[in-house]
Chain A
């Protein structure tokens, strides 16, 4: 069509122009990627292969991309203890009876590789994504100064797994009423050596001085 030649050429050459810009940006991006992430070891790659083998993306997201059916795993290794993750990968319900994830037959060495892979993912520079939640991160909620025990609870990342009054993780027991069920001696001893009190516990020992652990225990006892 003769009279449409101008607009047709604008379409073709305009599109080519933007595609060329994309190619240039692609080269630039690819050259910058190694500087934005740790080195990829054989274990990281083996973990990525296992990630694909079990179609993890079919439920989870990573960097926020995936299936939105299960939690995003970008920063998982920053939040959950490694021992917990390993046991969860091999048999989810053995460490978290309420877990929806099925037992996929992931082998122990594959679980280790997936954890190494997820640790690599957690160190990638994602332009600060995911953002830190505004409300849960705020210290001194409601204008009240936090007690020493509350501060230790927050700074140790306890809420990544435990929940108090609806805020926190669901992978470990809810602590909202823990003051009703446990006494001081049990809590104190448990913080220092969890498996001695709960056989098979995946919780790491709290790394703090005895004085601080006592303050944490006092805080737990107020939760009734």
Chain B
């Protein structure tokens, strides 16, 4: 039994995939000699050498283009985009090329690649280095969207993402890099598309992703201890494919649903899930689905501003009480 941080689990997950399959290589900016700006890829260059761990220029289009072309031949690249915000400068490669080529080619071309990127707020980096962009990729047909909330999920989901024959965007949360977990076995594999229950309960279903899933779990502990409310917390783990089955099963039991999203409100992933719930579980609902989100603003930088923009544990607790007790 060893304690592993989310940060260390990233480099371990990549290393485990590279040890298993010679077709896997890793490319990104400052990922090799520097070990990554978040120190999440330390040791990879030393173990695998320059041929498999490639330090690239600041050329996000060229990085993802090279990864895509290599994947088209059957290699399995892992490409890093340092901050998810930088996906905007290579969005053509992501949304037009990587996502659509399999379909347009009538299935002649598979693109088995993983795009890892540091996502989300909490670091006071301001509006261009803190965004939660999982909903951007969710709306493009042809992309799988994964966002682990803990070290074991990083290990298990990375294993599946690298083996997946389709392109996967792997959103690592910056505020979770220091998150620790006791892990017995590191060679894990978790299928993409299976949600995880972080807290059991039958009063309300709270649906979260990445950091928001952990905050929802913390909120559930407080709700149970202090307010006698038993919340079921579902960590989606992936938006595409989505584990609608697990959501439906819980909603039928609780009748109350809340999504907790870090993305700004408009077209956040919770809107799609809310729509699915009303479509599939309308008769089971005891009230409208509540969406707790970052408001529809760019993320501000100062402590007090950022802290009050992204949904906090306290906000989740208060919103649940308001919803269930009308307080």
Mutual binders A and B: no
